[in-house]
Structure 1
Amino acid sequence: MRRADRLFEIVRLMRGDRAVKAAALAERLEVSVRTIYRDVADLQASGVPIDGAAGVGYLLRPGYTLPPIMFTPKEIEALIVGARMVEAWAGAGLSRAAREALSRIAAVVPGERMAAAERIAVYAPGRRLDPAVRARLDTIAAAIDRRRRIRFDYCSLAGAPSSRTVRPLALHFWGGVWTLESWCELRVAFRAFRVERITILDAEGEPFPVEPGREYSDFIAGLEALCPQAEGRP
């Protein structure tokens, strides 16, 4: 890693509410602690508002703005591949945001570097989402963000219809299939629903509070207790 890139990473890693020790920075950046001490001293001398000292930890003072980001070729490739997947399989809002983000990146990245990254042969081919499902994903994502209950009709894979009111907690993508992870008020338990089988009746339901035992973290904890190797997958 070039020294300029390392200095940028040091400043980025210091952003937050907790002091970062030199040893942790050294391990993350694969350099010696002595190198971190020297780099931090140089940053402070150049006017970067870093508080702290050797042996105590360092913290970047709030309000400091990082210089413009320069992505590495591999980072640009990762962003392009991710944007292709989002455009093919996410909701309309995220798909549009992915295209706009790449446009912003292209505006600041040297043209030859961007062109080289765009030649990466990793795509997201196949059936794209139905526009109705895209719109449904946007509606559910908004309800999750606002913590609003959703009421919908559902048809299971076995063809059994039901009506549900749920607390929407998260959306999971399974390579062509999206599921809504939720707290179901009919079953009084966590339930997952395939988004393409949902017919939303009301996405502006009553707000739901933060309630221990019914949050996404509880859902994941329950899965991990049942299957320690699941790594959060339902």
Structure 2
Amino acid sequence: MRKASRLFEIIQILRLSKKPMTAQAMADRLEVTVRSIYRDIAALQAMRVPIEGGRGIGYIMRPGFDLPPLMFSIEETEAIVLSLALLERTGDEELKQAARRVNQKIAGAVPAPLRQTMENKALYAWGTVAPPPASFDLGLARRAIRDEQKLVLDYRDELGRATERVIRPIALIYYSHYANLVGWCELRQAIRNFRSDRIAHCEAGDAFFRGDGNRLRADWMSGWANPPA
């Protein structure tokens, strides 16, 4: 996590907390060292963010500090709530946790009437909840798409035939029972779809395809129909 993002996260944690937060608790949530938290707290205090406390007793945010408000209408807020609820139906555990954090952040930033809209739980997304893939990390795939990094797959097709694939991942499609990874397959020399439940193993490769992702996605969307892997 970049420092700027981490500073924002610390502010949000302290704003939403009802009791002092120790540096260790924040370090565990942000997956960084306690020393990093101490440095970040000192940096925020130097920027006149009203954080009080110290080592061993925890930190609190003095009342009255607010980030700029999020200007959402009621309909926009409901759209966000429903979209986040739909993420609960995916098998992507990282995204589900992220959705819960987004809900907390928005609830802490919007005016009281809109906060009530978010908290009244009047909007639901029903349907099958996809299980997490047994041998495929969806978070790894999303990061590889963002970073334009190649992935190495052990893949089995619909007949159970095993192959090793090196692919350039460009998209993830979430269905109710599984996810599809879309990428340029170096074995087939074409864009292919890889079902998450048929991926026996996946790891990040050593090579990248930076600058080529948008072109591959444009090629993929121009067809919208790709043969099976």
Instruction: Compute the TM-score of the two structures, normalised by the length of structure 1.
Output: 0.59
Radius of gyration: which is bigger?
1
Partner of 2:50: none
Q: Which string of whole-angstrom CA distances, capped at 9 and with x for unpartnered residues, describes residues 127-162 of structure 1?
A: 3422646x6100111111121111111112232222
Partner of 1:126: 128
Give the aligned residue type for 2:132.
D
Count of paired positions: 159
SS in 1 for 2:72: coil
SS in 2 for 1:206: strand
- CA-based RMSD of the aligned residues comes to 2.8
Equivalents in 2 of 1:127, 1:87: separation in Å?
A: 7
Equivalents in 2 of 1:70, 1:123: separation in Å?
A: 24
Q: Which string of whole-angstrom CA distances, capped at 9 and with x for unpartnered residues, describes residues 180-231 of structure 1?
A: 110000000110111121123431331124349961111112338x9xxxxx
Equivalents in 1 of 2:212, 2:112: separation in Å?
A: 50
Equivalents in 2 of 1:108, 1:213: separation in Å?
A: 34
Moved more, 68-77 or 106-115: 106-115
Q: Quick check: 1:93 aligned with 2:94?
A: yes
Once superposed, which parts of structure 1, at least 4 consecutive aligned residues long, lie more than 6 Å away?
none
Partner of 1:61: none
Label 1:127 to 1:95 Cα distance change in 2 as closer, same or farther (>3 A): closer
Equivalents in 1 of 2:149, 2:99: separation in Å?
A: 26
Matches within 5 A, 1:158-173: 158-173=159-174
Q: Quick check: 1:222 aligned with 2:223?
A: yes
Quick one: percent identity of the two aligned structures?
30
Give the aligned residue type for 2:144.
A
SS in 2 for 1:81: helix
Equivalents in 1 of 2:133, 2:98: separation in Å?
A: 16
Equivalents in 2 of 1:91, 1:212: separation in Å?
A: 22
Equivalents in 2 of 1:214, 1:136: separation in Å?
A: 25
The question of whether the paired residues in 2 share the 8 Å contact of 1:151 and 1:164 is answered with: yes
Shift of 1:67: 4.8
Equivalents in 2 of 1:70, 1:213: separation in Å?
A: 31
Partner of 2:203: 202
The question of whether the paired residues in 2 share the 8 Å contact of 1:212 and 1:218 is answered with: no
The structure, 1 or 2, with the larger RCO (C-alpha pairs under 8 Å, 6+ apart) is: 2
Q: Which string of whole-angstrom CA distances, capped at 9 and with x for unpartnered residues, describes residues 96-122 of structure 1?
A: 211111101111234443333443343
Q: Quick check: 1:102 aligned with 2:71?
A: no
Label 1:131 to 1:200 Cα distance change in 2 as closer, same or farther (>3 A): closer
Label 1:90 to 1:131 Cα distance change in 2 as closer, same or farther (>3 A): closer
Label 1:112 to 1:212 Cα distance change in 2 as closer, same or farther (>3 A): closer
The question of whether the paired residues in 1 share the 8 Å contact of 2:173 and 2:179 is answered with: yes
Partner of 2:51: none
The question of whether the paired residues in 2 share the 8 Å contact of 1:143 and 1:204 is answered with: no
Shift of 1:124: 3.7
SS in 2 for 1:88: coil
Equivalents in 1 of 2:71, 2:197: separation in Å?
A: 39
Q: Which string of whole-angstrom CA distances, capped at 9 and with x for unpartnered residues, describes residues 161-191 of structure 1?
A: 2221111111112333211110000000110
Instruction: Compute the TM-score of the two structures, normalised by the length of structure 2.
Output: 0.60
Label 1:115 to 1:157 Cα distance change in 2 as closer, same or farther (>3 A): farther
